[in-house]
């Protein structure tokens, strides 16, 4: 059974953590989305190996959604991903804590399709808080580290975007890239 390989599962989670953390250092939305897509695929594998199919489906679908949202931001596509997430994940829930990632995914889906820049990142920050609580409950080392780092790094980048906005600079300019 897949759950019999916790070391490998945690290793995949740690790799996903590195990818996700570097994503939130990006100030350009396109780079943020590309790295978050890879992060979602790795986390999907991680959660499957930990024996949490609801989380695996949620993150894998989120990876596809993140990629698609960079090209198609229509309301219909957003609604498709929202409905698909709830239809696929809800039947797999086995504990109330698994609802937090679904709610976070719902918030992030809205943000990826309807928002940009600072507003996008602030919604993703709120989502990360729910994922962190879930990952603490599940015992996902990579997930705990990832969401903790995402909260700090996304908060840092959001602060810089806020300062740029106040100074009248474009949000996509970055001395880091």
pLDDT in tens, 73-99: 899 999 999 999 999 999 999 999 999
What pLDDT does residue 165 have? 87
CA–CA separation, 67 and 31 (whole Å): 10
What pLDDT does residue 5 have? 63
Which residue did the predictor score with more confidence, 33 or 42? Answer: 42
Q: Residue 27: helix, strand or coil by DSSP? A: coil
What pLDDT does residue 36 have? 87
User: 170: phi > 0 → left, psi -120 to 50 → alpha, else beta; which?
Assistant: beta
What pLDDT does residue 39 have? 92
Q: What is the mean pLDDT of residues 124-145?
A: 95
What pLDDT does residue 28 have? 86
Token pair belonging to 111: 């943000």
Contacts of 153 (CB under 8 A, 6+ apart): 21, 24, 25
What pLDDT does residue 20 have? 83
What pLDDT does residue 24 have? 72
| CB-CB contact of 150 with 20 (8 Å) | yes
Rounded to the nearest integer, the mean pLDDT of the chain is 88
Q: What is the mean pLDDT of residues 147-168?
A: 89
What pLDDT does residue 174 have? 43
| CB-CB contact of 107 with 126 (8 Å) | yes
Which residue did the predictor score with more confidence, 156 or 169? Answer: 156
> What backbone torsions phi and psi does residue 169 show, to the nearest 5 degrees?
-90, 155
Domain range list for the chain: 2-167
């Amino acid at each position: 059974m897949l759950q019999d390989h916790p070391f490998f599962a945690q290793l995949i989670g740690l790799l996903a953590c590195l990818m996700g953390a570097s994503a939130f250092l990006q100030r350009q939305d396109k780079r943020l989305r590309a790295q978050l897509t890879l992060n979602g695929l790795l986390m999907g594998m991680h959660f499957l190996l930990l024996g949490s199919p609801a989380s695996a489906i949620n993150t894998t679908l989120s990876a596809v959604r993140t990629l698609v949202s960079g090209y198609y931001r229509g309301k219909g596509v957003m609604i498709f991903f929202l409905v698909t997430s709830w239809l696929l994940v809800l039947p797999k829930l086995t504990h109330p804590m698994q609802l937090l990632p679904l709610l976070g995914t719902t918030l992030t889906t809205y943000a990826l399709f309807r928002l940009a820049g600072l507003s996008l990142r602030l919604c993703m920050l709120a989502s990360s808080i729910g994922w962190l609580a879930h990952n603490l409950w599940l015992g996902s080392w990579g997930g705990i580290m990832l969401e903790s780092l995402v909260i700090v790094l996304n908060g840092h980048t959001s602060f810089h975007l806020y300062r740029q906005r106040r100074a009248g600079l474009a949000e996509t300019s970055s001395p880091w890239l």
